[in-house]
Amino acid sequence: MACRNLGECVFGAPIDREFGPMVGAADNGQSNSTVPKLFRYMRYNPELSTQGLASLGLPQIEPTNVQRLDSVDHMDELQEVGRVYAKASVSAGHFGGFH
């Protein structure tokens, strides 16, 4: 939440029902902070449940194999989730320009 409050959040799932996604607040005139945005922030979190993996087109991956990010025995599956999720969710536009 701190990163979304202090930074300009351009992508991310809702935090919870009270705060929502806190995405793009600086762009629509409803800033969630009283200080200037200090950095650009994106939060990419693929859903690593059976349903989430199926929605990515990866129903063959067992969720418990990829729910631990240090699961070295399943590194190929972790990388596949990352590749598929990135292709579906990451946009160069999220990163903005450099000044």
Residue 29 clears pLDDT 70, i.e. is over it: no
> Is pLDDT at 6 greater than 80 in this prediction?
yes
Alpha helices (H) along the chain: 2-6, 50-55, 63-66, 75-89, 92-95
The residue with greater pLDDT, 64 or 23, is 64
The pair of three-digit structure tokens given for residue 11, joined into one six-digit string: 């992508």
Of residues 63, 23, 70, 71, the one with CA closest to residue 46: 63
58-88 pLDDT tens trace: 999 999 999 998 899 999 999 999 999 999 9
Q: For 30-63, write each residue's pLDDT tens digit.
A: 555 677 888 989 999 999 999 999 999 999 999 9
pTM score of the predicted model: 0.75
- Coil/strand/helix, residue 26: coil
Q: Say whether pLDDT at 28 is over 60.
A: no
Domain edges within the chain: 1-43, 45-92
